[in-house]
Amino acid sequence: MQHSITVELDQVTKRFGRIVAVNNVSLRLPDQGFVGLLGLNGSGKTTLLNLIAGLLRPTEGSIRLDGSRVTRQSGKQIAYVTDDQSLYGFYTIQETIGYAERVYPDFVRAAAEEIVTFLKFDVNKKVAQLSKGNKMRLNIAIALARRVPLLLMDEPLAGLDPLVREDILKMFVHFGCIYQKTIVISSHEVSEIEPYLDYAIFMKEGQMTLYASAEKIREEREQSMLNVMREYCV
Ligand SMILES: Nc1ncnc2c1ncn2[C@@H]1O[C@H](COP(=O)(O)OP(=O)(O)OP(=O)(O)O)[C@@H](O)[C@H]1O
């Protein structure tokens, strides 16, 4: 059993010079569940994830984790998977798990082994020999195996084929639920992730235009999430 974390953003704005990447966003993430951060290119998704992860500081407003202001040290409570995540090609999958165990004090080896078995990985294979999709699966497996309450992922499905993407989404739901995590994933593949989502956050030009449970969106709007995205993100 893992503790949950309260993540609260209060009137958060992030500017890069004259560009307002995130504009006055206030929200509280759910204690558990799969959250889609949805929006067109340049709508502020990556910046928002970087702010929550403590990699960027807000220009205005505050971000609090369990009531304390987020800092780079907050990364201890957050696993953040980005596209450019490095794995060492010369390690086997087994050695990569051993390495993660040494690097992350919160790493649960048994969880990683369970996920790797679920993925039917040959643990003796070298990372360099893995396809892009399998490298991303391994990255996510390592993030999921950390005993942290919040997992952030920036476009983890980009550039992967549909079968791999579906497999990764099932992995989030299955293991995210077992390990009781809040998982936030940024994406513009809205149709694809829609069936798996518990909550959706829609972004447009840095502003949060809608944040609701997926169930409520489906019930009240009786339209696909793609149509909702057209209404709130374009
Ligand atoms: N370091 C930076 N310096 C200057 N401008 C930036 C920086 N990072 C982001 N921006 C700008 O902020 C805005 C939001 O960018 P961001 O990457 O957060 O959007 P996004 O929704 O993640 O886009 P994408 O889906 O293309 O990854 C864009 O106009 C972008 O050009």
Q: Please report, for the domain that includes residue 76, its CATH number.
A: 3.40.50.300
- CA 68, 102, 108, 115 dihedral sign is positive
Q: What pLDDT score was predicted for residue 83? A: 67
Those residues of the chain that have pLDDT short of 50 are 1
Q: What pLDDT score was predicted for residue 42? A: 93
- Over residues 169-204, the pLDDT tens digits come to 888 888 777 677 899 999 887 888 888 899 999 999
Q: What pLDDT score was predicted for residue 71? A: 79
In a domain, 11, yes or no: yes
Query: 44 CA distance to ligand 1 centroid (A)?
Result: 6
In a domain, 1, yes or no: no
Q: Domain range holding 25?
A: 7-233
Q: Report the SS3 class of residue 199.
A: strand
Q: How many folded domains does the chain comprise?
A: 1
> How far separated are the first and last CA of the chain, in Å rounded?
41
Q: What pLDDT score was predicted for residue 2? A: 59
Q: What pLDDT score was predicted for residue 73? A: 75
In a domain, 114, yes or no: yes
Q: Is 43 in the pocket of ligand 1 (CB under 6 A)?
A: yes
Q: What pLDDT score was predicted for residue 5? A: 81
Q: Is 97 exposed, middle or buried (0-12, 13-18, 19+ CB in 10 A)?
A: buried
Q: What pLDDT score was predicted for residue 84? A: 58
Q: Is 47 in the pocket of ligand 1 (CB under 6 A)?
A: yes
Contacts of 4 (CB under 8 A, 6+ apart): 31, 32, 149, 180, 182
